Chains A and B, each alone.
Chain A
């Protein structure tokens, strides 16, 4: 098959570019553990209120022995519960969220807190917030006619 020399150079350049980008991504994934949320864990979304983890009195912020925090939340039409979460700045926080009904997406704009919330599965995201302030917690996956109104609040406060 005849390939023009200039085209041959372009093909090589293209392949090198694609391999370089994927190489960087794989490097960060394996080397620095940078991944999008990929926790595979099932839960019965119709029985959340009966589970030890997602029962209503268990939701919210808990401090772990190693100083990190775990925030347990339920997403359901139309809010994220508890509707106001407070965490300290520059502390590792693990969010564990389950849906009580349909698909949702949770996103705190301009932070790394973003994940799909899929009925039947537990979503888990670990991140830390570097700036204090008031943040909106928005639903970004269509979940019904009230989707626009599905949001809650996150406060990141200074360390005592």
Chain B
């Protein structure tokens, strides 16, 4: 077993992720303060929109991709007891992605890519921004290849045996990401790069948004996968118990892989260029993708209950107090699941077809995704970091109390930030504004919630600095500790599995046909109708 090299690779990926996270978190504080109207000398649309664009790219594309890759490389080698499939290629994925980030950062920080992390045309960014994004995605594709090849290699060496659940999850994520990223890749490679370079004059904005929607929902599951995999394969062990059901874990991963891609139109409910029939189809799929999350909720809470009762908890809720909350991953998961309830509920509202009209492009939307991504997913990323750092570095956490304080501060800060944000949306405040110069009594109604959000952002920034501090001091000066990782064991041992729960062939076919049904005509129509393209516009 040669995990040392994967440790270095995983650490490299994680350090890029959490450095990006810290920078982005501080930008977030600036943004909330600027928009609140309480600090007039801070107000500047140019600075604000450059900051929002940078913040979105760093949090949504950099933090996430590098955590996914680091987590994948480490858990793949340790769960399969196998070398990386191709070590040079794995390091190439890291460097390509990093170079991509630096290129995009150049454009963002010089104000030449203030097009937000969704970069909708016909607002045009500097070509270097799009090229940087491509390199980041190509780096992630190499990671996908590594995951798939490692599983294939392992299966050849262990015919008929169940693939370890953590690896099954990584590969489900990899396969899903290859399917999902095709949409934005097509948009960037065939439309945005040639257009920003002046090689083509116009792009069809409807087609661009349709292709982006293909990626836009599934990408949140790309982000979510490491968190869910950790819930199934690391948390039960950290909590001192067992995983309630290995098979239901696989079912959830498969459902996420298949159902998260062909449902992008819930991001286009309010757009003119797609018909209601297709929007209804995607709506149905969107509700189906809630199922694996609800299944995960059951399985993980059941696993925690087993852990709690094994440690002496009795009564209907007594097992909760008996859980080892001092374990960072247990606290991170508990707080994360709490926030998932709120974020999931908001998501159901967003998915509800015509009801989306009430919240579309209002402040409710960033409130929602900060709660579910900035809340649940980020907390679980922190939990993963605190859990894996000792394994990766051989040094224990320097200050366990600061670790727990950081997690609680983040959860509280996120609630104080996201709850008013949702309410602002219900009061009609648009999203993506840097000030509120409207002549309407609504502005006064918004003000107290803006102020509350500044408080929340301060708490979050403190927590972000604490996270970085905890990781630096632990790696530099933690006590030497055992670096062996232990994965959770299921209550019922898995001796054999039916083929569909151990491989992805069937699911790829199902996804292919579903994608043709969900996106075939909606994309083809742009080539059949007489459409008019848009020329580039600067911000």
Query: Which residue numbers of A lie inside 8 Å of B, CB to CB?
Result: 1-4, 6-7, 10-11, 14-15, 18, 21-22, 25-26, 28-29, 34-46, 101-103, 105, 107, 109-110, 112, 114-124, 134-136, 138-149, 151
Q: When the two chains form their complex, are residues B529 and A42 in contact, meaning their CB atoms are under 8 A apart? A: yes
Chain B residue with the shortest CB-CB distance to A139: B430
CB <8 Å contact, A103 and B357: no
Given contacts A120-B204, A148-B436, list 19 more A-B pairs with CB under 8 A: A4-B244, A18-B291, A25-B283, A26-B284, A40-B529, A42-B530, A45-B532, A45-B534, A105-B360, A114-B361, A118-B271, A120-B205, A136-B440, A136-B442, A138-B428, A142-B123, A144-B123, A145-B45, A148-B437
Alpha-carbon gap, A149 to B492, bound state (A): 61
Interchain CB contact (< 8 A) of A138 among B298, B352, B438: B438
Sample 5 A-B pairs with CB under 8 A, ordered by A number.
Answer: A4-B245, A25-B280, A107-B360, A115-B270, A144-B539
Please state if B120 and A120 are interface contacts (CB–CB under 8 Å).
no
**In the bound complex, how far is the Cα of B161 from the Cα of A9, in angstroms?**
30
- In the complex the two chains form, is A22's CB within 8 Å of B534's CB? no
Which residue of A has the minimal Cβ distance to B286?
A: A22
Contacts A2-B247, A105-B270 given; indicate if A120 touches B123 (C-beta within 8 A).
no
Give the complex CA separation of A4 and B243 in angstroms: 13
Q: Is B510 an interface residue (CB 8 A)?
A: no
Q: Which of B248-266 contact A (CB under 8 A)?
A: 248
- Cα-based distance from A116 to B213 in the complex (angstroms): 15
Q: Which residue of A lies closest to B434 (CB)?
A: A148
Could you mark each residue 495-507 of chain B with 1 if its beta carbon is under 8 Å from any beta carbon of chain A, else 0? 0001001000000
Chain A: which residue is nearest B429 at the CB level?
Answer: A109
Are the C-beta atoms of B114 and A118 separated by less than 8 Å? Answer: no
Do B295 and A14 touch across chains, with their CB atoms under 8 A apart? yes
Q: Can you list, as one digit per residue, whether each of B8-25 has a CB less than 8 Å from chain A (1) or not (0)?
A: 000000000000000000
B353 at the interface (CB under 8 A from A): yes
Interface centre among B247, B352, B353, B358 (most CB of A within 10 A): B353
- Min CB distance, B56 to chain A, in Å? 11
Interface residues on B, range: 35 or more
Q: Give the contacting residue for A102; candidates B429, B434, B537; CB below 8 A.
A: B537
CB <8 Å contact, A122 and B354: no
State in angstroms the CA–CA spacing of A101 and B209 once bound together. 16
B357 adjacent to A38 (CB under 8 Å): no
Q: Which residues of B contact A46 (CB under 8 A)?
A: 532, 535
Name the CB-closest residue of B to A7: B298
A1-B354 CB under 8 A given contacts A7-B302, A22-B287, A109-B428: no
- The answer to whether B272 and A38 touch across the interface, beta carbons within 8 angstroms, is yes
Mark interface residues in B507-539 (1 if CB within 8 Å of A CB, else 0).
000000000000000000100011111110111
On whether the beta carbons of B283 and A22 are closer than 8 Å, the reply is yes
Smallest CB separation, B256 vs chain A (Å)? 15
Check if B338 is an interface residue, CB within 8 A of chain A: no
CB < 8 Å: which of B46, B271, B291, B525 contacts A116?
B271
A118 and B206 contacting across the interface, CB-CB below 8 Å: yes
CA distance A87 to B251 in the complex (A): 54
Chain B neighbourhood of A119, CB < 8 A = 122, 205, 532, 534
Contact B354 A103 (CB under 8 A): no
Most buried by B among A41, A42, A148: A148
- A140 & B361 in contact (Cβ 8 Å cutoff): yes
* Residues on the B chain within 8 Å of A42, using CB: 529-532
CA distance A15 to B289 in the complex (A): 11
B410 at the interface (CB under 8 A from A): no
Q: Give chain B residues whose Cβ lies under 8 Å from the Cβ of A123.
A: 272
Which 5 pairs between the two chains have the least Cβ-Cβ distance? A109-B428, A140-B430, A140-B361, A142-B432, A136-B440
Say if the beta carbon of B214 comes within 8 Å of chain A: no
* Residue B427, interface by CB 8 Å: yes
Give the contacting residue for A145; candidates B114, B271, B429; CB below 8 A.
B114
Complex CA–CA separation, A14 to B280 (angstroms):
20
Contacts of B280 in A (CB 8 A): 25-26, 29
Instruction: Say if the beta carbon of B449 comes within 8 Å of chain A.
Output: no
Please report which residues of chain B, range 286-345, place their CB below 8 angstroms from some CB of chain A when the two chains form the complex.
287-288, 290-291, 294-295, 298-299, 302
Contact call B123/A102, Cβ cutoff below 8 A: yes
Given known contacts A38-B276, A46-B532, A114-B357, is B430 in contact with A107 (CB within 8 Å)? Answer: yes
The answer to whether residues A40 and B114 also contact, given A21-B287, A120-B533, A144-B539 and a CB cut-off of 8 A, is no
Kindly name the residue among B302, B428, B442, B539 whose own CB sees the greatest number of chain A CB atoms within 10 A: B428
Q: A4-B245, A14-B291 are known contacts. Are A120 and B354 too (CB-CB below 8 A)?
A: no
Q: Contacts A21-B348, A103-B122, A118-B272 given; indicate if A7 touches B354 (C-beta within 8 A).
A: no
Query: Is B78 an interface position by the 8 A CB rule?
Result: no
Question: A104 → chain B, closest Cβ, in Å?
Answer: 10
Residues of chain A lying within 8 A (CB to CB) of residue B362: 107, 109, 140
Contact A120 B531 (CB under 8 A): yes
Is there a chain A Cβ closer than 8 Å to B389's Cβ?
no
Q: Which residues of B contact A117 (CB under 8 A)?
A: 272
With a CB–CB cut-off of 8 A, which chain A residues contact B539? 144-145
Tell me, in angstroms, the Cα distance from A41 to B273 when the chains sit together.
Answer: 7
Report if B279 contacts A (CB, 8 A).
Answer: yes
**Contact between chains at A121 and B273 (CB < 8 Å):** yes
- Max count, chain B CB within 10 A of own CB: residue among A11, A29, A103, A117: A103
Tell me if B371 counts as interface (CB < 8 A to partner A).
no
Contacting pair A118 B273 (CB below 8 A): yes
CB-based nearest B residue for A141: B361
Q: In this complex, what residue of B is CB-closest to A2?
A: B492
Chain A residues with Cβ under 8 A from B245's Cβ? 2-4, 7
